[in-house]
Structure 1
Amino acid sequence: MSLTGVIPPVCTPLTPEYEVDAASLVRLVDHLLAGGVDALFVLGSSSEVAYLTDAQRRVVLDTVVGHVAGQVPVLAGVIDMTTPRVLEHVRSAVAAGASGLVATAPFYTRTHPEEIRTHFRTIAARGGLPLYAYDLPVSVHTKLPAELLLELAAEGALAGVKDSSGDDGALRRVILGRQRGQGTPFSVLTGSEVTVDSALWMGADGVVPGLGNVDPHGYVQLYRSAERGDWEAARAEQERLVRLFEIVRVGGARMGGSSAGLGAFKAALHLRGVIDCPLTALPQIPLDDDETGRVGKLLAAAGLL
């Protein structure tokens, strides 16, 4: 399954009791589909996967896969510390009817590249679904080398990569390696909200933007402009989205980056009437009324309120 286009990592709305709000999740999915997205990615970083219990993960999977009903592919994050734990999530994703799997390198444990290679090979062999590597060194403390990704792609273990490393040089090495015939077919997806136009110009196939929850249509417009070679229009839309991305900095002075970013996305979705409650999972600090108001001003400046 070679993926292209805009693939938002779907936020997980919560109730005031910190349970998954399935009704708001369905509205969010409809909001994304109406924006023209090409696929969905559940149980990733923007989904707060690290905070969800196994039971909550299953609610998210069953709700989204059931509601989408095949309209677009649904990728399921199977992210956990070690291979045996990941394989438990793989079984749930397969049972729910996911279209593909997304996994990081192992974390908490200190691993060797050969063990990372074994990790992805094992997931691919036992999962029976297309597997996408999630390169997220800020969280798992391992950078996936271009050579390893291309090798695993060439042998059929990986269908693609979501690159959230922030290393554009490494991203380009993957793209160039694929152009030389290494690891094809292989989807290269950027996880950056703010450099999408440049990644697409380099040859990336699509984007997995957390901010795409808030403004899916904007990212679709950016991608379609690039697809038809209108790079000036793509740049203009990217610059508008860069200004909107300032919402993630609103709470940054008094909370962690995860709280600030995810809180901003959820506050924006709440202000836009998509989800009922902007709560983030414990122990994250929520935005206060003043910060939420500042998010609202940035939404209005972007033409979204």
Structure 2
Amino acid sequence: MAHLPEDFGGIVPPLSTPFTPSFEVDVASLERLIEFQLAAGVHGIFVLGSTGEAAFLTDQQRATVIEVAVRTVGGQVPVLAGIFDMTTARVVEHAQTARRLGADALVLTAPFYTRISQSEISEHFWLVHVAVDLPLFAYDIPSAVSTKIARETMLRLAEDGVIRGIKDSSGDEANFRALLLALGGRADFSLFTGSELLVDAALLFGANGCVPGLGNIDPAGYMRLYQAAQAGDWQLARREQERLFRLFDIVSVGLPRMGIGSSAMGGFKTALKLRGVIATNITGRPSIQLNAEEVERVRQALITANLL
């Protein structure tokens, strides 16, 4: 089923991609993870994002993830698919695959590795927009792609109808608030924060929703936060946010033994395994895996958060 512009909002977790011991997509675990999210009432599913370790997947594995997501969701909520890559040609290929497999919207960053200008970023978005007739969401994550999508670029792309929304993971909360002031309130445009830790504040400022990696583990908690904000109960929203804030410490259990990405994805997948949602906590190669002591720290965090 087609989803209307107003359907893109609320809590849209960026799903982890479960792996088998042979580093293939664990389809059964991915199905359980999606069903776990739907049971919590989330408003959408985002696959192949940073939390989904899209950078570690082959093209065929990316296609498998989208196919499983679309089939399992069955039109209940929108399925957003990440299509980022190094060049426009590669991104257009990913976009066409996602469209063929039934994704409802596409999420793309600026191209990475190559050093490009803001005009080239605009050209990149325009070319994908022309190539594939699906809503595009701009994903601003300069820590991963080394280039920030400037506010002026975002505003121009929005005004021209090239993008239908923004996922802001830049860490620049003042810039995000400026985007909310300029674009908030439009029925045909959605602004999401990618911060797990400031959702209550973002919603208070007028954000349409959140794309929280931690929502993999506790989608019900983010739903309670969102519903409290919608009801104007900001004290309840704050309490839920503070509980989730403390739980977010699981992203650092592997530091400094491993990189922050390996530690965060390992923490998320370990928590999902401990909660009985996925079968392994294996992260994509060449990531280092969590050891027994680090796994125990995740377990204790889940107990403290009343999730075990």
The answer on 1:177 being equivalent to 2:182 is: yes
Cα distance, 1:261 vs. partner? 0.3
Who is 2:56 aligned against? 51
Separation in structure 1 between the aligned mates of residue 118 and residue 269 of structure 2, nearest angstrom: 36
Who is 2:151 aligned against? 146
Q: Which one of the candidate residues 26, 29, 37 is aligned to 1:24?
A: 29
Q: Secondary structure at the match of 1:189?
A: strand
Cα distance, 1:129 vs. partner? 0.2
The answer on 1:188 being equivalent to 2:191 is: yes
Separation in structure 2 between the aligned mates of residue 141 and residue 253 of structure 1, nearest angstrom: 22
Q: Which one of the candidate residues 218, 222, 243 is aligned to 1:219?
A: 222
Q: Deviations over 1:215-234 (max 9, x none)?
A: 00000110111111111110
Question: Residues 145 and 170 of structure 1 are in contact (CA less than 8 Å); yes or no, is this contact kept in structure 2?
Answer: no
Bigger CA drift: 292-301 or 143-152?
143-152
Who is 2:200 aligned against? 197
Separation in structure 1 between the aligned mates of residue 175 and residue 187 of structure 2, nearest angstrom: 17
Who is 1:11 aligned against? 16
Who is 1:132 aligned against? 137
Q: Deviations over 1:158-198 (max 9, x none)?
A: 0000000000011011001114x8x7632110000001111
RMSD: 1.0
Separation in structure 2 between the aligned mates of residue 146 and residue 253 of structure 1, nearest angstrom: 34
Bigger CA drift: 16-25 or 142-151?
142-151
Who is 1:41 aligned against? 46
Matched AA of 2:156: E
Who is 1:89 aligned against? 94
Deviating above 4 A after TM superposition, structure 1's stretches of 4 or more consecutive aligned residues are: none
Matched AA of 2:111: P
**CA 1:284/1:173 → structure 2, altered by over 3 Å: closer, same or farther?**
same
Q: Deviations over 1:91-119 (max 9, x none)?
A: 11001000000000011111111110010
Q: Which one of the candidate residues 67, 70, 79 is aligned to 1:74?
A: 79
Q: Deviations over 1:71-95 (max 9, x none)?
A: 1000010010110000010111001
Separation in structure 1 between the aligned mates of residue 250 and residue 48 of structure 2, nearest angstrom: 22
Who is 1:274 aligned against? 277
Who is 2:122 aligned against? 117
Unaligned 5+ runs, structure 1? none
Q: Percent identity?
A: 52
Separation in structure 2 between the aligned mates of residue 110 and residue 59 of structure 1, nearest angstrom: 31
Q: Which one of the candidate residues 282, 285, 289 is aligned to 2:288?
A: 285
TM-score calculated relative to the size of structure 1: 0.98
